Structure 1
Amino acid sequence: MSHGPRTTSAFGVWIAALLALPASATSAYVNVDIDSGDLLSAKLQGLPSNLAKLFAPESSNSPVVNASRCKVYPGDAEWPSDKAWSTLNKLSDDRLLSPTPQASACYEGPNYDPEKCEAMTATWGRSYSHMHDPIEMMSPVAQGMTCLPPNVFDSHNCTRGGFPLYVINATKPEHVQLGVNFARNTGVRLVVKNTGHDFLGKSGGKDALSIWTHWFKDIDYLEEYTDEKLGYSGPAFKAGVGVQAFEIYKAAHEKGRAVVGGEGETVGIFGGYIQGGGHSPLTSLYGTGADQVLSFEVVTADGKFVTANSTSYPDLFWAMRGGGGSTFGVATSVTVKAHPDMPTTASRFSFTSEKIGNETFWAGIRSYVDYFIPNADAGTYAYFVLIPNVWTGIFTFQMSPFFAPNKTLEQTQALLQPWFTQLNELGIQFDPNITHFDSYYEAWRSSFPLEVVQKVNATTGSRMFPRANFETEEKREELYQNLRQSSENNRVQVHFNIKAVDPANADNAVNPAWRPNILFAQQAVRWPVNASNEEILKIRQEFQTGDMQRWRDISPGAGSYLAEADRLEPNFGQAFWGDKYPRLLELKQKWDPKDVFFATTSVGSERWRVESPGNLPNENGKLCRVDQ
């Protein structure tokens, strides 16, 4: 195809040039007063009818396509022709890519390049090496493990596996519309990718068409934004969905502001993060990320480009604030509240059981549990991990960090001192390293570790433990014993002592389990790197019926966080959305009746199943209906 998708070699040159451009040159969201539907219609004029219908928006007389059991895949009679793909490329301003996995440079074939492989392998575990890639996910287990650096996991060859086949590098709403319409009208599987941080691998899909939103990078500061229905009047930021945490935090700091976003610096916080709820170092003060949203610009499943807010498409607005990404539409920009910048204090330290013994170590952890409620109520955010070592029998605690926004050094010391006194009395030595910063941005930038690509032999489950688990000595002891049991079962644990305040007029789809939450807890199960599919599946299932079920049993009616969870989470609708799930199902049927959008464990996804080899929960298989 003379005008077809870009080849891998051309892509490499093109992306290097793109990265060299300023953000304003690579991305722009279109303001709502520009009718992108008309722009799209103009593009379709003059096309032969058989091609134009592939890109046309939904209408009352649109035919039902692909009534077969599975989405359309290469080799199927319904797979779009080369001419159709070439036309999609032309209509999208030559932004259709056909990239290959990064690790293809390490395997025999047309992309083999030992020097490139060595350079890529050296940084493969860092999120910065993946965030600008159009297909790479930071969850290799969810991708399907089909093309990884050999020193990480030797797949012996490189196949596409769970990676998309084509990618639209969207920078305008009409690019998104073209992708949505093409997928709906052809039956090809559609996925949406921003940076690829989701633990469950929702930004991938075997041989799918992907809409890559990473380069929607504009940021506008609005000094005064008023929404009487939401009860908000104050400053705001309107940001393209590709804006990442390190970008919006810096922009906010320059205006003397702070915004609610994740602790991970490379997360694209206006995509799946904010649409799924999103916890933040500021959540104990202001609520979840979704609670901050004032407006979305979004392409819906029928191909329309609309503004969803409290008065325009309010039900869509409700659903997209917490209902999950890749479900109701593709957002191109989000407007969020801006809060005053604030001084912040942070503490980072660690201790192990090596010299003090396991019982003393665990006595120190038990004493900490007593302070979870007062610390969360004080508006702090504690990010800590428990690391077991089965070979040495040593346990490690790391506070990374205890984060106290809008707290002075003295106030933070006063909060921590009662627990620190108990640790000292137990003979546990540590350096609290309590540091005060003049701004939230400086504290955030100095305190949190860079997020990494997930391991190739592990998966994570999570649970929100509500206030009820901490209100009595008996319940605190019960929770502590369960955390200790998980460590003794060799589960690495990551914890966030946090509460999600419920801002005024914050009626949205955010999991109600966030509101009484005091501890958001994660634990990971590991398996041998060379384990068979059968062994992996058995280990993962036993993890759910064992360690994860123990956590559920002591927190009845609570839930889990949809972006940091296990694909095997049972009854995910209740776990991720509680009693809001029935309404979300109704809105999914209203806004996407043909299931154009799908992501694993998303609203309505129980109607579909990725039929992966070995029945493993990954994207390395066709997406098919379960009721046919």
Structure 2
Amino acid sequence: MAFSSVKSALLVALLATTGEAAACPSKSAVAPLFEYEKVQLTDQTIAKLGRTQSALFGFGHNTTNTTHSGSCKVFPGDHQWPSHASWSALSHALDGALIENVPLAASCYKSWPQYDSEKCKEITEQWTDSHIHAADPASVMWPLFEGRSCLPTTNSSSSCSLGGYSVYSVNVSNVEQIQLAVNFARNSNIRLAIKNTGHDFNGKSSGAGALGIWTHNLKNIEYFEHYSGSDYQGPAVKLGAGVQAAEVYEHAQKLGYTAVGGEGKTVGVAGGYVLGGGHSPMSSLYGLAADQVLALEVVLSNGRFVTVTKTNHPDLFWALRGGGGGTFGIVTSIISRVYPKIGTTVSTFNFSTGKNVSTETFWAGVRSYLSHFPAHADAGTYAYFWVMSTGEDAYTFLMNPFFAVNHTLSEFNTLVKPWYKELHSLGIKIQPNSTYYDNFYDAWNSGFPLETVASSTMMTGSRLFPRSNWEDAELLNRTFNALRSTVTAGFPLLAFNMKAELQKGLTPNSANPAFRQTLMHAISSTSWTETTSNTDIKAKMDHFTNDILGQWRAVSPDAGAYMSESDIQEPHFQQAFYGSNYQRLYQLKQKYDPGMLFYAPTGVGSEEWVVRSLDGLPDQNGRLCRR
């Protein structure tokens, strides 16, 4: 069939069924669909297409996967790669929403038509600001795991390639577009990447040779003062997949409710954040963000659009809430329970080694703090702190901030008085800057600065340290010694004192069981210079994974780590990120996505695949192939 016939058939069929799709949407059992969710691809639409178009856009079936060992997703340059006519057909079907991706920093390179020295300067200045990466259809917050293929530079003659960024992205404005893209990728056997904001530490939103689905602009928010579901009656909020933390918090402030969302301002709440569990400044009081979810609207790997609740697809309801983003489907919205307006005290302070504080005194102060973790978390608070080396035998502690939800200033001072008294007895003087806010939003906005992102010379790793480490004096000492050893070896400690227990009456989900026992979510990182060779970078990564974080695993062998802020090389990631839930999640992966359309590094089932990275590092710049 000639290209003009393809174009005509698609336009006639899709335009003729626009009203039909809106009139016969997948019914939501719990709340009205957003307008963009009412525009859906239907069997009637597919039936009106010719054979060639049906082969591109037809729905799939959840049958046994036929991909063989060693075979790869189709890659640009392969003879099976979709033709120009096929991509044009997709573009027309998407009503112009298909974007041919260009690296964000391409303006810095003369080899790209987008070269513009002034634009390059602007991008370079903003490179560590998460807003510009979230607002780009392909860019991710951590370019190391894309493949560092096009970084800002002052050498305009150097090399820039698309690398691990998706080749095309769909700027989604309705469900039909997601369905068309999912069906096209599955039927063409090309890689699919899903991007909301690109916050994941391991680059899950990238993928060389991929078609990207970009949900960032699905910004609808609707508040239900009297929501009624199968087992919950009360206030709730429905969030489009692209809503970010600052946006829902601002909405909550205006309407007088409190939502459980991320600490970071630009994190996409209804994306990989909530799907991976989602710890929050509210977690010690209300649990994980995933615990709050009452319903989800989802496009599955077969292209079908479904409502997922406790009673409708209950197995998916369990899996989606904590089992990982980009794994079981593409979420277009969630409904979450919310809470009344709540006051919070925010406090910051620091202490360091110096003339009056010896190294041993400093570490005694840190050890004193650890002993108060159970009491502080059980009081519903959330603390974000740093311990780091500042020179030879010199260290600093930064409380930035202590976030005391549901505490007046007086109640906060009473809570921390025992610890402050111990610091005083050690001769450590602190000057806390503490302020009470009568609402969560103002406290959060003042307490947490905009996150710095996009370093290509560092790698992070994390651990969820369990309460049991505080219930055994010898084990607590070993835990402290492991943390001290990390910092004295030159690796920073960024940590959260928090808990994330499943609250009474809430429906169990697939969030990492280690979260339910944790009292500290700790993060560290390793780094190198821009001139370090790939071989030496890999050696540094391995040392960090095996030796530095190995000390943390040794004192918490049955615990785990938070998958969204983790070491991509985490040994036995199935246990570390999913714990006892992994086998059930794997079985559900085979049921709902047997062809592994939804691949994500360290995701469920990812152990059966490998990215043939061009630089030998664990990034997404290479073919995705069966092992």
Please, what TM-score do these two structures have when normalized by structure 1?
0.91
C-alpha distance after superposition, 1:159-214 (max 9, x if no partner): 11110000000111111101110111000100100001000000000121000000
Residues 218-229 of structure 1 aligned to structure 2 (within 5 Å): 218-228=220-230
Distance change (3 Å), C-alpha of 1:416 and 1:255: same
Equivalent position amino acid for 1:137 in 2: V
The residue that corresponds to 1:245 in the other structure is 245
Residues 161-560 of structure 1 aligned to structure 2 (within 5 Å): 161-228=163-230, 231-355=231-355, 356-390=357-391, 392-503=392-503, 504-560=505-561
SS of corresponding position for 1:614:
coil
SS of corresponding position for 1:145:
coil
Q: Distance in 2 between matches of 1:418 and 1:67?
A: 60
Distance change (3 Å), C-alpha of 1:369 and 1:62: closer
The residue that corresponds to 1:18 in the other structure is none
Q: 1:44 Cα shift?
A: 4.2
Distance change (3 Å), C-alpha of 1:101 and 1:359: same
Moved more, 372-381 or 125-134: 125-134
The residue that corresponds to 2:613 in the other structure is 612
The residue that corresponds to 1:24 in the other structure is none
C-alpha distance after superposition, 1:548-581 (max 9, x if no partner): 1111110121000000001100110110110110
Moved more, 172-181 or 66-75: 66-75
C-alpha distance after superposition, 1:89-148 (max 9, x if no partner): 111111000121111111112221100001111111111222111111001111111111
- 2:85 matches 1:93: no
Q: 1:36 Cα shift?
A: 5.8
Q: 1:223 Cα shift?
A: 1.4
Q: Distance in 1 between matches of 2:37 and 2:277?
A: 29
Equivalent position amino acid for 1:588 in 2: K
Equivalent position amino acid for 1:101 in 2: P
The residue that corresponds to 2:570 in the other structure is 569
C-alpha distance after superposition, 1:288-334 (max 9, x if no partner): 01000000000001110000000111101110000001000000000
Q: Distance in 1 between matches of 2:570 and 2:32?
A: 38
Distance change (3 Å), C-alpha of 1:67 and 1:539: closer
Equivalent position amino acid for 1:193 in 2: K
Moved more, 34-43 or 68-77: 34-43
Equivalent position amino acid for 2:224 in 1: L
- 2:174 matches 1:150: no
The residue that corresponds to 1:26 in the other structure is none
Q: Distance in 2 between matches of 1:70 and 1:421?
A: 62
Equivalent position amino acid for 1:92 in 2: L
Q: 1:42 Cα shift?
A: 5.1
Distance change (3 Å), C-alpha of 1:154 and 1:581: farther
Q: 1:65 Cα shift?
A: 7.9
Equivalent position amino acid for 2:613 in 1: S
Contact 1:3 1:90 survives alignment (8 Å) = no
Q: Distance in 1 between matches of 2:96 and 2:69?
A: 31
Q: 1:235 Cα shift?
A: 0.6
Contact 2:349 2:398 survives alignment (8 Å) = yes
Q: Distance in 2 between matches of 1:30 and 1:79?
A: 39
Contact 1:256 1:340 survives alignment (8 Å) = yes
Q: 1:63 Cα shift?
A: 11
Contact 2:320 2:510 survives alignment (8 Å) = yes
Equivalent position amino acid for 2:127 in 1: W
Structure 1: segments with no counterpart, 5+ residues: 5-28
Contact 1:148 1:155 survives alignment (8 Å) = no
Q: 1:48 Cα shift?
A: 3.0
Residues 130-141 of structure 1 aligned to structure 2 (within 5 Å): 130-141=133-144
Q: Distance in 2 between matches of 1:262 and 1:469?
A: 26
Q: Distance in 1 between matches of 2:370 and 2:466?
A: 13
Equivalent position amino acid for 1:617 in 2: P
C-alpha distance after superposition, 1:202-261 (max 9, x if no partner): 000012100000011100111122334xx4221100110100000111111222111111
Q: 1:431 Cα shift?
A: 1.8
Distance change (3 Å), C-alpha of 1:35 and 1:115: closer
Residues 58-69 of structure 1 aligned to structure 2 (within 5 Å): 58-59=60-61, 69=71
The residue that corresponds to 2:86 in the other structure is 84
Kindly report the root-mean-square deviation, in angstroms, between the aligned alpha carbons of the 2 structures.
2.4
Distance change (3 Å), C-alpha of 1:130 and 1:63: closer
Equivalent position amino acid for 2:145 in 1: A
Equivalent position amino acid for 2:259 in 1: V
Distance change (3 Å), C-alpha of 1:332 and 1:155: farther
Equivalent position amino acid for 1:487 in 2: V
Q: 1:458 Cα shift?
A: 1.1
Distance change (3 Å), C-alpha of 1:234 and 1:36: closer
Equivalent position amino acid for 1:521 in 2: A
1:115 pairs with 95, 115, 118, which one?
A: 118
Distance change (3 Å), C-alpha of 1:369 and 1:294: same
Q: Distance in 2 between matches of 1:302 and 1:155?
A: 44
Contact 1:66 1:72 survives alignment (8 Å) = no
Distance change (3 Å), C-alpha of 1:38 and 1:619: closer
Q: 1:51 Cα shift?
A: 2.2
Contact 2:130 2:452 survives alignment (8 Å) = yes
Q: Distance in 2 between matches of 1:544 and 1:62?
A: 36
Contact 1:66 1:186 survives alignment (8 Å) = no
Contact 1:135 1:204 survives alignment (8 Å) = yes
SS of corresponding position for 2:105:
helix
Distance change (3 Å), C-alpha of 1:154 and 1:513: farther
Distance change (3 Å), C-alpha of 1:349 and 1:2: farther
Count residues with an aligned counterpart: 599
SS of corresponding position for 1:50:
helix
Distance change (3 Å), C-alpha of 1:62 and 1:497: closer
Q: Distance in 1 between matches of 2:438 and 2:410?
A: 14
SS of corresponding position for 2:243:
coil
Contact 1:43 1:91 survives alignment (8 Å) = no
Moved more, 450-459 or 262-271: 450-459
Distance change (3 Å), C-alpha of 1:346 and 1:77: same
The residue that corresponds to 1:25 in the other structure is none
Distance change (3 Å), C-alpha of 1:622 and 1:314: same
SS of corresponding position for 2:315:
helix
Equivalent position amino acid for 1:122 in 2: E
C-alpha distance after superposition, 1:562-609 (max 9, x if no partner): 000011001101101101100000000000011010000000000101
